[in-house]
Structure 1
Amino acid sequence: MLKGNTGIREVHGITKEEKKEIMAFLQGAVYCWCKNHESEWFSARDFLGGSNFYWEGTPMYALYKKHDDAGKGDGSIKAAGIDAGWLLKKVLIEDKRTFITKRGFKIREYSWIDGIIDGIKDEDIEDDEDDEE
């Protein structure tokens, strides 16, 4: 469950099976993050950027390939990252645990709050609209 901005865009151009595998991959990353970083904020960039940028051999590669096949060249990486951000948001909306969201620098960030933060008020949760991710 995601509290705050729950607007979502559908990711097209991949099969249902690819989407299912990507979402399972992302959910595994979220579970790992929550176990090791509890109340720290995270974004798709934490799971898929930096030293984790090499997607070949993972379900994430389907997103890159979709954009590369469409002729986006160097823009394929950024476009795949945006798609990954939307799929991560969908994973969090469908998760049984509770997450909050806020707007970071050019990205959307999330934090797991179950059993971590007591007394959160609705006005503490950012509910802005964004269309970058």
Structure 2
Amino acid sequence: MDGLKILNSLTDDQKSAITQKFGSIGQLYKKVFDLTNQEYVLRNSNRQVEIQDQLFDIEDKLDEIGLDGHYIKSQISSDFGEIIVNKAIKSLDAELKKFGTDYETMRDWMKDKYGI
């Protein structure tokens, strides 16, 4: 969870500025995480643009207090992506086990055979 690690490693002044803009470090994290989830769920709908605008607004607010808003937002969004990927891997692993193999075996085979 690199997003949380980055937020927790900020200086006290930076954390204070985030708290003034967003209520707390936790509230900022949850807001970006929730918006990323909504963006993922609604990726093919008109509402996705609204969500992206909210994420850009958060980036701008972080930029205003001297932080790299895009980087912080990206790291939090990446945390969400990790969860989605891990969920997909678990599902794929369960499916592959029905056929007598598993995710790690197939991953290693593809890596050795195809360099993927």
Q: Which has the larger radius of gyration?
A: 2
TM-score by length of structure 2 reads 0.43
TM-score by length of structure 1 reads 0.39
Which one has a larger percent helix, Structure 1 or Structure 2?
2
